[in-house]
Amino acid sequence: MEISKLAGSIAESPTVKLNAEAAKLRAQGESIVHFGIGEPKNKAPQNAIASAIEKLQSGEVKYAPSDGLPGLKKAIVQYTEKNYGRTIDTANVVVSDGAKHSLANLFYALLNPGDQVIILAPYWVSYPEMVKMVNGVPVIVTPADGSFYPKLSEIEKSITPATRAIIVNSPNNPSGAIFSDEFIGQVVDLCEKRNILLLMDDIYHKLVFEGRKIAPVYNFTKKDIESTNVIVINGISKTYGMTGFRIGWIVTNRKLAKIVTNIQSQSTTCNSPICQVAAEAALTGDQSCVDTLVATIQKNRDTVLQELRSIPGVKVEKPEEHFIASRILAHSTRILWRWLISSSRKPSL
């Protein structure tokens, strides 16, 4: 069977591949340290589970609006107002099958063939392939000083007439770095002045340690939601450990929200109403589960740091956020991961 050149050019997700490799070894009876796909190990909030069960038992599990159930969209509006200090309307929200799907919809809606998207290294492995899936061109900006913190000047040097968007993920996957308020403000100002879209991947914005707070991206623009070039992407996967529910969303201007809704209506049609009511319950219910998750992840981080620092030749910097402790400076991070998978016989950390 012949496949399209575009499909043939898309690489397999390294994290999904690593996840499958770890699962295979587990099935063989091995006890491994799993550094695969990012996934909190907590249970989903009980009120979210209860809402999903209630919806399922009602028997009323039908098609939902393509842009999301009204109740969930209202919950996202409230979440945005509380956590971002920005008043929006439900028309500014589109719910999708996870934040990854939200990003894919945005690339489909915004990029023409040859349009460039600037991606800051280190980056989530799916960004470049997702851009290429719509015939866009990923442009990687790697900090010249070897750190995890790019400079604005490095971004500016990468801008061309074909630059359409910049992706910023802070807190960052995989580095665990949090970009400074000054840097975020500079990038926002750059995008507003040069009419470049800023795709703010905020999926980890709650998973920060030592009581640190992340300044909302809207703090750095004077434009309202209908005129700003800032687009926020978020979801329930990381904050609530609800990765399997596949609920994410974008917050953007009404025009783009409508376009994304049209795209979604012609692909997935809608998101599962069972998962959507669970997401609404998570967003509007008791938030102590988030604090508990953060405390657990911070404890795990400290344990991982202690163990990694005991390996000869490995230098580790303390991640500032989330459950990824991959700020490992060694001959090859990938070699280290494969060594851990192939040689570990100890229980997972």
Q: What is the pLDDT of residues 270-310, one digit of tens each?
A: 999 999 999 999 999 999 999 999 998 888 888 878 887 88
pLDDT at 327: 41
Among the listed ranges 10-24, 55-69, 196-210, 227-241, which one has the minimum average pLDDT value? 10-24
14-27 helix and 333-343 helix, angle to the nearest 10 degrees: 10
What CATH number labels 46-284?
3.40.640.10
Q: What is the pLDDT of residue 31?
A: 81
* Residue 342: pLDDT over 50: yes
In angstroms, the Cα distances linking 239 to 31, 301, 339 are: 27, 16, 30
Alpha helices in 28-69 (DSSP H): 46-58
Mean pLDDT of 105-111: 98
Q: What is the average per-residue pLDDT within 25-41?
A: 77
Report the alpha-carbon distance of residue 284 to residue 277 in Å, rounded.
11
Mean pLDDT computed over 6-30: 84
> What is the spatial order of strands in the sheet that 116-120 belongs to?
93-96, 248-251, 230-235, 197-201, 163-169, 116-120, 137-141
Please check the confidence at residue 127 and state whether its pLDDT lies above 70. Answer: yes
Q: How far apart are CA 97 and CA 272, in angstroms?
A: 8
- Measured torsion, CA atoms of residues 277, 279, 284, 285, in degrees rounded to the nearest 10: 90
Percent of the chain with pLDDT strictly greater than 90 = 71
Cis peptide preceding 14, ω within 30 of 0: no
Work out the widest C-alpha separation in the chain, in whole angstroms. 58
Query: What is the arithmetic mean of pLDDT over 322-339?
Result: 48
